[in-house]
Amino acid sequence: MVKSVEGIYRNGKVELVEPLAEAEGSRVIVTWVHHVGSPPETVDLRERGIGEGRAADLRHRLAAFAEDWDRPEMAVYADLPPR
* Distance from C-alpha of 36 to C-alpha of 41, rounded to nearest angstrom: 12
- The answer to whether 36 touches 75, Cβ cutoff 8 Å, is yes
pTM for the model stands at: 0.37
Q: How far is Cα 74 from Cα 83, in angstroms, rounded to an integer? A: 18
Query: What pLDDT is recorded for position 37?
Result: 61
pLDDT digits (tens, 9 = 90+) for 37-67: 655 567 788 888 888 899 889 888 888 888 8
| Separation of alpha carbons 13 and 28, rounded Å | 13
Please state, in angstroms and rounded to a whole number, the distance separating the CA atoms of residues 36 and 75.
6
- Contact between residue 83 and residue 17 where contact means Cβ atoms under 8 Å apart: yes
